[in-house]
Amino acid sequence: MMDGVQRARELLDDAAGRLRAAGVRDEALAEYVEPRSVLGIRREPTMRSLGRVWRIGALLVGASDDSVGCVWATGSITRVTDPGRSQFQSVSAEVRRAYRAAAAKGHFADGDTVNHGATPIPLDDTLVGSPGALFVEDGVPLVRWSATAGAAVPLADYLRDRVGLLVNPPRGATD
């Protein structure tokens, strides 16, 4: 019987290969950086690039040389646009504006999607019985939408469906 962790690696590698071969658009992966003050002068937050990924629902799969073979649980997502001026409409609107400003300051391309706050998922024995989005139970790799979600589906089925939608989107989905 094949080891569940090894099977998860193979399934994720196969998914990345299918996405790469189909030329599916990737997205940026970044770390939100709150810089320290220098000589009492506060500097604005920025986002530091960690590579490129494909967002496959609850998982981010490495797409660039510096992220290949790696996987993360999806965190927050922002699009690089002009953050505009603070309007104090709501706290959530101001948080989104701050993330857009940090992404723009991080020198990501205008219009790019930036994933941040993602949690790395080690592809090792810690997957066995893990409470995270990706885990192995009874030798079978499984995925759940979030760490708090109770229901899980086999990783093979999840990737077949999700990657299939990215490789062959339904008519009208990308128009």
54 vs 101: which has the higher pLDDT:
54
Task: Encode pLDDT of 112-145 as tens digits.
Answer: 999 999 999 999 999 998 999 999 999 999 999 7
Task: Encode pLDDT of 18-52 as tens digits.
Answer: 999 999 999 999 998 887 767 777 768 889 999 99
Judge whether residue 95 has pLDDT over 60. yes
Residues 6+ apart with CB under 8 A from 54: 15, 16, 19, 24, 26, 27, 60, 61, 63, 166
pLDDT mean across residues, the chain: 88
List C-alpha distances in Å: 73 to 10, 55, 119, 168: 18, 10, 5, 23
For residue 128, give the DSSP letter. Answer: B
Q: pTM (2 decimals)?
A: 0.86
